Amino acid sequence: RASLHTSSARRTHTCSRRTTLPPPALHRATSAAQVTMASATCVPMAAATLRPSVQQARGSKASLRTRGARTRTQQSVSRGARKVAMAVGIEQEVAIDEAPLSLLREDGADDASSMRARFEKMIRNAQNEIVAAIEELDGSKFQEDAWTRPGGGGGISRVLQNGNVFEKAGVNVSVVYGQMPPDAYRAATGESGTGKEMIPFFAAGISSVMHPKNPMAPTVHFNYRYFETDAPAGAEAAPRSWWFGGGTDLTPSYIFEDDAAHFHGTLKGACDKHDAAFYPRFKTWADDYFIIKHRQNERRGIGGIFFDDMNDRSQEELLAFATDMAGAVVPAYVPLVAKHMDDEFTETEREWQQMRRGRYVEFNLVYDRGTTFGLRTGGRIESILMSLPLTARWQYDMQPAEGSREADAIDAFRNPRTWVA
């Protein structure tokens, strides 16, 4: 087995205050056509900045055989990553002893009636409710880190490791004020123009991944976010852009049809309150996003819902939708863990779970835009990799026996199924 945990996994669940970068809530998956959230907004730019270094690395195999060439290539990539991080225009965070009542700026611009304030309130409430539900189930407490930035914004990370039920569970919220390069803004909004002024932006989100110990209990991931831009300096008449995004998806090691029906049915019920077209549309979107291409197009799990760049209806409607979807996490997921956390299992089944955890790692490190962006730009590694399990396994050429439960799981991952009508 390949152990992915660090010494921090052995710490007690006492409150630790460390300098922390924004959690993956702001680096989560985006649509192919557009880009959302504070850091994810710059993914195309990150690729463009790093591309010369990659081409240089590929250009001369002979030169790469020398240590000096490797060093020069690494230095070039590092310089490109620093340029990307600087271009984002996010201030350095400062660790604090206790999370403030609000992470918004105190200049009065974001009053309690603003969408920024209302979305922050929603994700803070969701974090509290979900953490409370997991602590009640597990019997262990989450560790909390909090930080702010001089110009406003900050975040709260809560992580549980080596609990009684969960190997690792994290629920993070973040609020970011920054400056977006104009090219990234135009790519995200589809607007034309030649302006070179940096675009002020605001982003807020909640993100979570939970990995239970028992192989029969599934992993869950969810993320809900809001993004907004301001007019650049000296352009007061410029329009403000905004959009919502998010989703919830399930990653079991073994398929239980009634579990899948419950999870998808709960999400569908929350979607149907707002639009009957949401669930089928967003389920397909999730099935199409969480693909591990180098594993014969296996999905990471059995999906759920995923949506992005939504501004096709009022902010009020979309805030209500995001609120209900975040509120559906506990009833959709916690009963499944409670049902299976004491199930008996064999060592072979544990090894299969560890192999599926390996697939989870592969997707996040190779395809997840938020994770890869964070790694390229030199972000805080503990925050970027919060979503990864403590342990995983890679076994050479493992092929499930025909007709086995493992083979059934692989079939479900490669061929998305209809779990609810």
Q: Which of 27, 221, 262, 340 is catalytic?
A: 221
Work out whether the CA dihedral 40, 41, 43, 46 comes out positive or negative. Answer: negative
Active site residue 340: no
Q: In 197-251, which ranges are E strands? A: 199-212, 219-229, 242-251
Between CA 146 and CA 100 the distance in angstroms is: 9
Coil, helix or strand for 252?
Answer: coil
Place of tokens 């503990």: 382
Between CA 117 and CA 58 the distance in angstroms is: 48
Give 271's Cβ-side CA count (13 Å radius). 23
Rg of the chain in Å (alpha carbons): 21
Coil, helix or strand for 154?
Answer: strand
| Residue 191, phi then psi, degrees to nearest 5 | -80, 155
How many helices and strands (H and E) does the chain possess? 13, 12
Q: Token digits for 222?
A: 């969810």
Q: Token digits for 145?
A: 């880190």
Q: Active-site residue numbers?
A: 221
